Structure 1
Amino acid sequence: MSAPLTAGVVGLGMIGGGVAVSLARSGRTPVVHDIRSDAAETLDGVPNPLGSPADVARDSDVIMVAVVDADQARAVVTGPEGLLSTARPGATVVLLSTVALPVVHELAAACRDADVRFLDCGVTPGDKAADHGMVAIVGGAADDVEHVRPVLADWAKQVVHCGPVGAGMATKIARNVITYGSWRTAAEAAALCSAAGVDPTTLTTVIDAADPEGSTLLQLLRMRAEGSLTPELHRQIATLMVKDLDAALSLAGELEVGLPATGVARNHVADTLGPGGEERTGDDALTETPADTPSGRRERGLAVMEEVYGPAVRESAGALDTPFTEQTVDYLFGEVWDRPGLSVRDRRLLTLGVAAATGRSDLIRIQAAGALNSADFTPGQLDEAVLHLALYVGWCNATAVHQGVAEALDDHARTSSPKEK
């Protein structure tokens, strides 16, 4: 029977320190290193730090690296006194730090060259590290994961093998998108409540009472995985999303609250839900429209125009029967406005600047109206933009800017006001 694997931890912050405590509690007391000599003083059962990562690797079969960023990870793994300077052949480096995938592959290659195994391992939630409460989100060869699973199990409540090297980090990064994206929308919701005179803590109370386990957050992903998002349910949810998000954006416009994430959600309802809105069976089956076909580019261009200017633009576009109008939709909006390098809001700002410099109040009015419709800008922000642009484009051109914005604000106020009964 082989001897139990020995463990080491480099970095004794909240996560690394918690991992070290959980390992010690399990009976697999690790050797540790931290740039702070007193880092282990408050960590139950954890010995004093050794002098360098190299010292940790010299006495460890499995080394967890929990440092702040990519530069620290590189220094710990490949630096002059790094792990690879003393690691035994067959040892395993487990990177717990969240870093970009190119860094993961860079460190994996360095370990491979040194005959050392490498696993990328996102962890969550970090504040449960000392209580054996984290999930280990692992990427790497299956044999390598199984080799160190006993060590991971000593500090993780669950070990999830996501795939080859990089898969663990990609999964952790994707999880962070859900976390921080939900924080952004929660911040917008709180701002909307405050502007409407409602204490945001009331919203928290409602959410806690309605969904104490937070299952709504992952409801869409679960429906997709289960195949329960039927065409009929897809259409029902899409209708509700449009109605509810339009109501939120309307209220935000009245209260002059910016809701950019909400605007994005409204403009990407179909993308969010994914395919499934129509049945595709028998003679009534719909034909897919690939994006790289002429009809696909046309549809994408019209969709982006809707995102930029609002739902009514498709009707107002009229017949696309000249080369200019065709290229406006297919190329300008279908390709340029849709490129990932800049957001729609960024491109709108640039376009507003150009229109201001040329004194085109008509173009300003169109862009300002689109900005209000999509909640890219509040009325107050547009008024501030007029003043800012005036100092760069000159007062004469600024008069045209002011006129265009004022007309857009008047239009928006009329269409947003409740209709008299």
Structure 2
Amino acid sequence: MTNTQALRAGVVGLGMIGGGVAVSLARSGRVPAVYDIRPDASDMLEGVSAPLASPAAVAKDSDVVMVAVVDAAQARTVIAGDGGLLSGAHPGLTIVLQSTVALPVVHELAELCAKAEVGFLDCGVTPGDKAAEHGMVAIIGGEQSVVDHARPVLDDWAKKVVHCGPLGAGMATKIARNVVTYGTWRTVTEAAALAVAADVEPARLAEVIDTADPEGRTLLQLLRMRGADGTLPEPVARRIEPLMTKDLDAARDLAAALGVDTPLVDVTRAEAERTLGLDAGPTPSAVDEDPIQRGLAMMDTVYGPGFSASMPEQLDPYTNETVEHLFGEIWNRPDLSVRDRRLLVIGATAALGRDDLMQIQVQGALTNEELTANQLKEAVLHLAFYVGWGNATAAHRGISAALAAHSAAAQNTVKESR
């Protein structure tokens, strides 16, 4: 290959996704060679040329070919069948499979491509209805060198390219994402049934969810809290469990009162401990046995993941006592929640008149979604009559600074997701 601009693109399959990819490529100035079993498939696709005679012809005129067909059988045909892409392959060709197929099929097709010295990537895509608007995410699996080679073409039709790992990782991630989508649809169906039975219009439920959770933060909160091994830190799981079961019990009580069938709610309640990784019961761990590690883990629970990393490896006597005793023992006692203890500390911090310490506490409360902005503002007014106007002014400064930082971080997250 010469340079990134010289890379030629191809698309096989001009349905909603493939046709949209072809339009996005054409708008970017990289007009693709295309193929579809329908001779008129590109007639309504802006800037896209007429289909060539075969996938082989597309391969000859392309360096990176997206395959967007319906199923595994069609993928096999257009890649390895008579007149397929491999029959027209040349050195440097890369095939990007966008069809959702089983992982064994991904590896089967990759082996066929490897024998022909053709690069291969599996590429889940979402959302399909945004393909023509450069609005899809490309969920990639494959070798880094192959991804790097195809990247200029991928960037011309995807708003974001996420390399998930080796071959098959893209497809696995897309399938897992689909589980979230369709599982949520079932959840929404039961929630809507509850709302309707209680004389609430589904549109009002949607309005509440859109307003309270516009970026799906709550929906994905549990996913973001999991470590690289897929498990939740046990202190976090044990903090969530009573809230989760309480709310699910309330949903079951409401469903029973209204005569609404909610099997998913019942299963979710029955599997609550397993969902949080607590089904095996409490077992001794390195964190449980080591008071320092237990204290560091609680620091991350109180102030957010990664906070404990700011602690030095060698702790002086004061810091050691703070980690081991204050966080390892006091904050870990069961009769008060982290939120309860937070409110006590916020009151004590206000009495000190320390806006810097107040900011740290409020940042932790916002990270854990323990208190809202309005609740924090109300707290300042309430505290003023107990700690004095001067100390409350310092508390107000600390709370305002934390709210501003939290809002800025949220806005950056939204921008990065676009």
Q: TM-score band (shorter)?
A: 0.5 to 0.7
Whether contact under 8 Å (1:54, 1:85) holds in the other structure is yes
2:212 to 200, 210, 214: 210
Letter in 1 for 2:273: A
* Structure 1 segment 225-374 matched on structure 2, within 5 A: 225=227, 231-274=234-277, 280=284, 285=289
* Structure 1 segment 124-203 matched on structure 2, within 5 A: 124-203=126-205
Letter in 2 for 1:124: T
Whether contact under 8 Å (2:97, 2:122) holds in the other structure is yes
Whether contact under 8 Å (1:231, 1:279) holds in the other structure is no
Unpaired stretches in structure 2, ≥5 consecutive residues: 291-418
1:151 & 1:84 partners in 2: Cα distance?
20
Q: Which moved more, 1:254-263 or 1:94-103?
A: 254-263
Q: Deviations over 1:64-83 (max 9, x none)?
A: 00111111111111111211
1:150 & 1:89 partners in 2: Cα distance?
18
Kindly state the Cα deviation for residue 250 of structure 1 after the two structures are TM-superposed.
2.3
SS at match of 2:90: coil
Whether contact under 8 Å (2:198, 2:258) holds in the other structure is yes
Kindly state the Cα deviation for residue 225 of structure 1 after the two structures are TM-superposed.
4.1
Whether contact under 8 Å (1:279, 1:285) holds in the other structure is no
Q: Deviations over 1:358-416 (max 9, x none)?
A: xxxxxxxxxxxxxxxxxxxxxxxxxxxxxxxxxxxxxxxxxxxxxxxxxxxxxxxxxxx
Whether contact under 8 Å (2:123, 2:171) holds in the other structure is yes
Provide closer, same or farther for how the CA distance between residues 274 and 281 of structure 1 changes in structure 2, counting only shifts above 3 A. Answer: closer
1:161 & 1:57 partners in 2: Cα distance?
24
Kindly state the Cα deviation for residue 46 of structure 1 after the two structures are TM-superposed.
0.6
Letter in 1 for 2:203: T
SS at match of 1:123: strand
SS at match of 1:81: coil
2:91 to 89, 92, 99: 89
1:228 & 1:49 partners in 2: Cα distance?
49
Q: Deviations over 1:201-229 (max 9, x none)?
A: 11111111111111111101112249996
1:91 & 1:283 partners in 2: Cα distance?
51
Kindly state the Cα deviation for residue 129 of structure 1 after the two structures are TM-superposed.
1.2
SS at match of 2:100: coil
> Number of residue pairs matched?
286
Q: Which moved more, 1:23-32 or 1:80-89?
A: 80-89
What's the Cα RMSD here? 2.4
Question: What TM-score do you get using the length of structure 1 for normalisation?
Answer: 0.64
Unpaired stretches in structure 1, ≥5 consecutive residues: 287-421
Q: Deviations over 1:3-56 (max 9, x none)?
A: 511110011111111111111111111000112222111211110111221211
2:110 & 2:256 partners in 1: Cα distance?
50
What is the aligned-residue identity percentage?
66
> Match of 1:102?
104
> Match of 2:407?
none
Whether contact under 8 Å (1:134, 1:158) holds in the other structure is yes
> Match of 1:315?
none
Letter in 1 for 2:116: A
Whether contact under 8 Å (2:96, 2:122) holds in the other structure is yes
Letter in 2 for 1:98: T
